Amino acid sequence: MHSTSISVTPLDSAPFGAKVTLPEYAKNDPANLTDEDFETLFNGVHKHLVVVIPNQAELSPKSQYLITKRFDPSIPEPKEVEGAGSGAGYGHGKEFRHEQSVLKKDGTTVKSQPQVQILGQGKFGADEPGNENGEDISLTHPSHTTFHHTPLTEQQIKEENRTRFYRWHIDSALYDLSPPVVTTLLGIKVPPTTQKQTIVYEDSPNQETKLELTRGATCFTSGALAFKGLSPEDQKFALSTTVEYAPHPYIFISPAGATNDGLTMVSEDKEFSFDKLPEWESSKVKKLPMVWTNPVTKEHHLQLHGCCLYKLHTTNDDGSVTTLDLKDARNKAHELMRPAIEPEKVLAHAWSEGDLVIFYNIGVWHSVTGEFKGINKDGKDERRLMHQCNIASAVDPKTIQ
Ligand SMILES: [Fe+2]
C-alpha cells in the first residue's frame, strides 16, 4: 500500500524501535522526503531510537550520505579540495585505519562518496551489488575472537553456534571529533535470517541467561532505558560525571582485551603508554558528560564508551572533584552499564536484504554480533556487504538539566 505521507510504526514485542514506510512521491528514496515528512522521520528516530526502512538495496551512496547529513544541520558542507577516499567528513579522523587501531580492518571507503563505508565479510567482485569501487574488495567482519580477552573456543563457535557482543559502543572517533548524531546502515548482501546464534550471559547464575539471535544481528540498547534503570544515587553520579577518553583511544586500547560481554576492557596495564601513541594534543582529548539529553523527548540517556574511556571525573555537592582512574573507571562503567544489556532490553536487528537502519547514535549503544569465518557446512566463510554512513557533528552532545 502506498501512501501520500511517511508512516512510523513501533515494532511489536521489542523494547524500542520502529518501522518506516516511505510516501509514494519519494520513489523509494528517503533523500527525496519533503521537509515535513523528514521532520516526522527525525522525530521518529529520536523517539524510537532505531528505525528500519525496508527494500532499500538500491539506495545510492549519495542518497545515503544526504539522508544521514540531514539529521544534523551543524555538519559543514564538504570542501571541494577534499580528495575522494580521504575519509573526510566521516565520523572518524585520519587515524581511523591506523595500523595499530582496533578499527583498522572494519571496512573500506566508497571512492565516489567517502563518507560512506563498505563493511562486511568476504570477497566481492567489481560487478557485485554494493561494491561501488570498480575493483575486487575483501572485507573482514569484526569477530570477538580478535578483540576479547578470552574468546569463545572454536568448538563453542562452530558446534554450539555461540557468539558474543563484539563491542558495545557509540560510533565516534572520541578524539578531536564530536560523535555523529545518527548512523545509517544498509544491508545489501546478508546471510539468511534462518541462521541463528546464541549469546550466553557468562556472568549469570549457571550461565542460564541467553539471547538467541540471527547470525550477524546488530544489537542495540537504549541509553534512556539504561539511565531510567539506575538507582537514584547512580543517576545523580551519572549526571555529575564527565567521561575523559584516552587520546587516540582505539590505538591506546589495542594491546588489551575486552570483557566477555563487550562492555569494557580487562585492566592488565597492557595499553600503550601515551608517548607511544601517534602525535596528540591535550586540547583534542574528549571529555564528555556521561548523560546526554534527547532534544525531542527531553529524556536523559546514559551514554559512555566503556572500552575507550580513560578516567571519570565526578563533581561532588561541595564542588570538589573525585576522579576514578582507568581500572576503577572501567569497573564503575561496567556496574552502571551491565543491567542495560539483559536480553529483554536488547533490540537484536535481524537483517533482511535491503534494510536501511537509521539509529540515534548519541542515544543508544550498539554492538556487532555473529561469527562468519569458516562456519558454513563446506567450511567456507559466510558473506555479507553493508554500507555505513555517519558524519562527525560540529557540536558535542550535552546534558540539559
Ligand atoms: Fe558502530
Neighbours of ion ligand 1 (CB under 5 A): 171
Q: Which three cell numbers stand for residue 337?
A: 552499564
Decide: 173 and 91 in contact? Cβ < 8 Å: yes
Ligand 1 centroid to Cα of residue 97, in Å, is 15
Place of cell 564503575: 332
CA 44 remoteness from chain centre = 19
Alpha-helix runs per DSSP H in 96-222: 154-158
pLDDT number for residue 194: 85
7-221+349-390, CATH topology level: Double-stranded beta-helix (3.60.130)
Close Cβ partners of 319 (under 8 Å, ≥ 6 residues apart):
none
Which region, left, alpha or beta, applies to residue 89 given φ > 0 means left and ψ of -120 to 50 means alpha?
Answer: left
Closest CA to 26 of 56, 61, 57, 70: 56
Ligand 1 centroid to Cα of residue 347, in Å, is 15
Q: Please write down the HEC assignment for all residues of 330-364.
A: HHHHHHHHHHHHCHHHEEEECCCCCCEEEEECCCE
Ordered by start, the domain boundaries in the chain are: 7-221+349-390, 223-340
Ligand 1 centroid to Cα of residue 233, in Å, is 30
> Backbone phi, then psi, for 343, in 5-degree steps?
-50, -40
Ligand 1 centroid to Cα of residue 319, in Å, is 36
Ligand 1 centroid to Cα of residue 326, in Å, is 23
Ligand 1 centroid to Cα of residue 116, in Å, is 13
**pTM for this prediction:** 0.94
Ligand 1 centroid to Cα of residue 321, in Å, is 32
Q: Which three cell numbers stand for residue 43?
A: 522525530
Ligand 1 centroid to Cα of residue 170, in Å, is 6
Ligand 1 centroid to Cα of residue 168, in Å, is 8
pLDDT number for residue 375: 65
Ligand 1 centroid to Cα of residue 368, in Å, is 7
Ligand 1 centroid to Cα of residue 171, in Å, is 5
Ligand 1 centroid to Cα of residue 183, in Å, is 8
Ligand 1 centroid to Cα of residue 358, in Å, is 12
Ligand 1 centroid to Cα of residue 349, in Å, is 13
Q: Which three cell numbers stand for residue 180?
A: 555523529
Helix/strand number for the chain, H first, E second: 7, 20
Ligand 1 centroid to Cα of residue 215, in Å, is 17
Ligand 1 centroid to Cα of residue 370, in Å, is 14
Ligand 1 centroid to Cα of residue 60, in Å, is 20
Ligand 1 centroid to Cα of residue 380, in Å, is 26
pLDDT number for residue 83: 42
Tens-digit pLDDT profile for the chain (401 aa)?
568 899 999 999 899 999 999 999 999 999 999 999 999 999 999 999 999 999 999 999 999 999 999 999 999 877 544 443 334 466 776 677 777 777 766 678 898 999 999 999 989 999 899 998 889 998 988 889 999 999 999 999 999 999 999 999 999 999 999 999 999 999 999 988 888 999 999 999 999 999 999 989 999 999 999 999 999 999 999 999 999 999 999 999 999 999 999 999 999 999 999 999 999 999 999 999 999 999 999 999 999 999 999 999 999 999 999 999 999 999 999 999 999 999 999 999 999 999 999 999 999 999 999 988 766 666 677 889 999 999 999 999 999 98
Half-sphere exposure of 64 (CA within 13 A, CB side): 34
- Dihedral Cα 343, 262, 178, 397, nearest 10 deg: 40
Half-sphere exposure of 52 (CA within 13 A, CB side): 20
User: How far apart are the C-alpha atoms of 10 and 47, rounded to whole Å?
Assistant: 10
User: How far apart are the C-alpha atoms of 342 and 349, rounded to whole Å?
Assistant: 15
Ligand 1 centroid to Cα of residue 1, in Å, is 33
pLDDT number for residue 382: 80
Ligand 1 centroid to Cα of residue 155, in Å, is 27
CA distances from 205 to 146, 149, 195, 197, 264 (A): 27, 21, 27, 21, 21
Ligand 1 centroid to Cα of residue 4, in Å, is 33
